[in-house]
Amino acid sequence: MGATPAVETLRAAKGDGETCPIVQQTLVRGDSVSARHGDRFYSAVYPRGRGKGIMAKVLVTGGAGFIGSNLAARLLSEGHDLTIFDNLSRSGCHANIEWLRATYGAESFRLVRADLTDFAALAGAAEGAQRIYHLAGQVAVTTSVRNPRQDFEDNALGTFNALEAARLHGDNPIFIFASTNKVYGGMEEVRIEARPTCYAYADLPLGIPESKALDFHSPYGCSKGAGDQYTRDYARIYGLRTVVMRQSCIYGYRQFGIEDQGWVAWFIIAALKRRPITIFGDGKQVRDILFVDDLLDAYDAAVAHIDQVAGEVYNIGGGPENTLSIWAEFGPLLEELMGRPIPVAYADWRPGDQRVYVSDIRKAAAELGWRPRTPVRAGITKLFDWINGNQSLFAHL
């Protein structure tokens, strides 16, 4: 990790913002300081990165995955004490860990390679954590249909274990859970219009709000939904400082998309590698897509406003201004980036596939002061350039 040579003054602190009154000394970035005050022990490391904040002890489950590795990079650049908990089951995970080590240093974080069902390992990783981002899990609807027990263990039991680890072993942690819009199900009662290149809500121009009734659909919807509701309830019953992020379609750097999950990245990878592309349904199904950096901004905003937002649930996606149909509109954009036509085959709809999903993000805007900053075209171009420039990472496909 590149240390900044500046000499600054820092008050040592424990947790997010609790200052220790007795330590005030001159530190170089990266220095650690500790002191006992009354019956409490305080320690802090002055951040090495761009942040001026206080270092926290942070656990990221799924930190080797797509969103998790982007989050880990942000946390490391801010100088936090990071533990990544991951079973490294997802393709691309090893490359993400290698990249984090190469960028921030081999010793810059602790990797616990274990499964979410191993409570003892998870509890150990959560020991003293002041922030926990729970991102690990089974991520594809199709896989959940093929193996519902595995999906249940990863997502329902896995999230329960993460919450218990936070409650019993964390240091009054903030707990952010990566939930999904799939908790709203197929929304058959919502009127949908077919337009030439996309479907659209007839009566919900601003998208689906958090007040929409839950209707778990598919084993993945059920297992993530169980985690979503447990997370919310741990705030009510145990006072755990949780925030549920019902994420829409996230895309960005370090996304190793496959046909079953991560369609934006998958279509780009498949096009560049001339792999066959199958469109399930008619390609006019619409998603609001969100660039990963914008999602991390929402996580940051939740942490910054935790006193106001603990126990809350937010729909986090691109919102009505960042929608795209998965092939009828995305295809022409990708063909433009590729500079050639891309042949595709069509197949039947997949279970649980919504014709339209667009998040109503007004609650997040009002309470987190957050909005997406990356327009669709700019974000897709960034991801295209990253995949195109890192084709060796996809050589095995």
Measured distance CA(143)–CA(279) in Å, rounded: 17
Provide, rounded to whole angstroms, the least separation between the CB of residue 83 and ligand NAD: 13
Provide, rounded to whole angstroms, the least separation between the CB of residue 234 and ligand NAD: 17
**With respect to ligand NAD, which residue has the nearer C-beta, 235 or 316?**
316
**With respect to ligand NAD, which residue has the nearer C-beta, 114 or 277?**
114
**With respect to ligand NAD, which residue has the nearer C-beta, 176 or 272?**
176
Provide, rounded to whole angstroms, the least separation between the CB of residue 221 and ligand NAD: 11
Provide, rounded to whole angstroms, the least separation between the CB of residue 84 and ligand NAD: 9
Measured distance CA(289)–CA(278) in Å, rounded: 20
Of 46, 104, 133, 220, the active-site residue reads: 220
**With respect to ligand NAD, which residue has the nearer C-beta, 104 or 263?**
263
Tell me the sheet residues that pair with 251: 291
Q: Is 325 helix (H, G, I), strand (E, B) or coil?
A: strand
Q: Is 61 helix (H, G, I), strand (E, B) or coil?
A: strand
Contact 319, 360 (CB under 8 A): yes
Measured distance CA(182)–CA(211) in Å, rounded: 14
Provide, rounded to whole angstroms, the least separation between the CB of residue 178 and ligand NAD: 3
Q: Per DSSP, which regions of the chain are E strands?
A: 7-14, 18-28, 32-37, 40-45, 57-61, 81-86, 109-113, 131-134, 174-180, 192-194, 199-201, 241-247, 249-251, 278-280, 286-291, 312-316, 323-325, 345-347, 356-357
Token pair for residue 62? 């799924």
Question: Is 234 noted as a catalytic residue in this protein?
Answer: no
CA distances from 206 to 244, 320, 344, 363, 364 (A): 20, 6, 31, 11, 13
Which residues make up the interface to ligand NAD (CB under 6 A)?
Answer: 62, 64-68, 86-90, 93, 115-116, 135-139, 154, 158, 178, 180, 224, 247, 249-250, 262
Measured distance CA(68)–CA(73) in Å, rounded: 9
**With respect to ligand NAD, which residue has the nearer C-beta, 35 or 88?**
88
Provide the annotated active-site residues: 220
